[in-house]
């Protein structure tokens, strides 16, 4: 069957083979236990760092490979999705959080944090969402007061990926209550700072092995040296980095769609009803034909986004298109996959059931589908 034009070279495919072997050896045998534990091991982070699967775009002087090619990021996201390893926070770390430090950090900050982030010794998180502020970032109430040589940070955050295990947390805080969207700054809180506490490892519907936490800041004294970027430009810094975050989520969604199609095809060829494989029934063939067509379109679309991202040509509206469309497609296809599996699709011992519960958050985090459509609508001038 014809496949979309590949954007990957032999070098990328060699990297994919290495990433796939890593997943099979270091992740798959342990993931069920991590699901029970509610988090992955720190060891797998360090092993990933040793294998060169983290932060490969970080400059060599800080321990990275200095390779700025998002195709490598996409490969890691795809190989994670293909084995259902939803507990690994590598894409959040590599694609979303560390780039803030790489692009905004001072020389001292880069030397302090980047080597550990590349090696997996340090795990990162970004704290935007609050109990009363999700998609509406301007509703953030966490505040930091300037005390001369430090900030005093107060507030709370929720739904923070990597929140339990994180060593370095980029906190979005209001530093000037009277400056509107120019009143936010990014402060880096480090594990062990007095007044920084972690709440529950939240009990989620899916992504059971990914630690997602509440974070609390009670008069945390944050050194001035931990201001990331420009004071008052926090909102602008977030907007500058969101396109890559949303393309990253689209890569994850695409890989999940391909995984669901593979699971469904394998099942309908083996499962029999009325004396023949259910794949021989017209309704099943038609459903899978539609799924295969949509996966082809998604692969073509995401490949184009990755190519444009490498060229610096992804704007906010294109990133929003990729994010909402691929995640809504993932939600649709996994539902069809469960239906094709029948009662077995409702059993957690079948990978399609895990894919179902893991998929539901995709249209919510990173900006809801509704927010993405609003961004696109504004770009259309309406």
Active site residues: 245
Contact predicate 326/302, CB 8 Å: yes
Buried b / exposed e along 150-180 (16+ C-beta atoms within 10 A)? bbbbbbbbbbbbbbbbbbbbbbbbbbeeeee
d(CA 38, CA 361): 17
**What residues does 143 pair with on adjacent strands?**
154, 174
CA atoms within 13 A on the CB side of 344: 13
Q: 188, exposed or middle or buried, with CB in 10 Å at 0-12, 13-18, 19+?
A: buried
d(CA 67, CA 85): 25
Residues 6+ apart with CB under 8 A from 278: 268, 271, 272, 284, 340
Closest by CA position to 153, among listed 124, 173, 167: 173
Contact predicate 217/196, CB 8 Å: yes
Closest by CA position to 76, among listed 60, 59, 88: 88
Contact predicate 159/210, CB 8 Å: no
Positive or negative, the Cα torsion across 185, 242, 60, 26? positive
């Amino acid at each position: 069957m014809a496949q979309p034009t590949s954007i990957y070279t032999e070098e990328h495919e060699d990297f994919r083979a290495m990433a796939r072997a890593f997943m099979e050896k270091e992740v798959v045998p342990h993931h069920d236990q991590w699901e029970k534990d509610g988090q992955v091991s720190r060891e797998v982070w360090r092993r990933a760092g040793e294998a060169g699967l983290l932060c490969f775009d970080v400059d060599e002087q800080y321990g990275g490979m200095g390779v700025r090619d998002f195709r490598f990021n996409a490969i890691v996201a795809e190989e994670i999705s293909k084995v259902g390893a939803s507990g690994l926070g590598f894409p959040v770390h590599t694609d979303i959080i560390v780039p803030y430090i790489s692009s905004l950090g001072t020389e001292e900050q880069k030397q302090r944090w980047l080597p550990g982030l590349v090696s997996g010794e340090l795990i990162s998180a970004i704290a935007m969402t609050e109990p009363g502020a999700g998609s509406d970032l301007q509703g953030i109430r966490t505040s930091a007061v300037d005390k001369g040589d430090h900030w005093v940070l107060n507030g709370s955050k929720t739904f923070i990926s990597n929140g339990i295990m994180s060593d370095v947390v980029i906190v979005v805080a209001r530093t000037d209550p009277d400056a509107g969207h120019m009143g936010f700054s990014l402060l880096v809180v480090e594990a062990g700072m007095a007044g920084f506490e972690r709440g529950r490892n939240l009990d989620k519907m899916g992504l059971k092995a990914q630690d997602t936490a509440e974070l609390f800041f009670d008069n945390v004294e944050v050194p001035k040296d931990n201001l990331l970027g420009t004071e008052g430009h926090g909102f602008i810094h977030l907007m500058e980095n969101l396109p890559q975050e949303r393309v990253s989520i689209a890569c994850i969604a695409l890989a999940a769609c391909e995984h669901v199609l593979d699971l469904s095809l394998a099942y309908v060829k083996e499962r029999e009803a009325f004396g023949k494989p259910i794949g021989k029934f017209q309704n099943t063939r038609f459903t899978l034909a539609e799924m295969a067509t949509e996966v082809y379109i998604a692969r073509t679309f995401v490949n184009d986004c990755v190519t444009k991202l490498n060229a610096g040509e992804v704007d906010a509206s294109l990133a929003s298109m990729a994010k909402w469309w691929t995640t809504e497609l993932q939600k649709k296809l996994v539902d069809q996959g469960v239906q094709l599996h029948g009662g077995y699709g409702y059993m957690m011992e079948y990978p399609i059931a895990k894919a179902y519960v893991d998929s539901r958050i995709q249209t919510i985090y990173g900006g809801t589908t509704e927010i993405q459509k609003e961004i696109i609508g504004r770009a259309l001038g309406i």
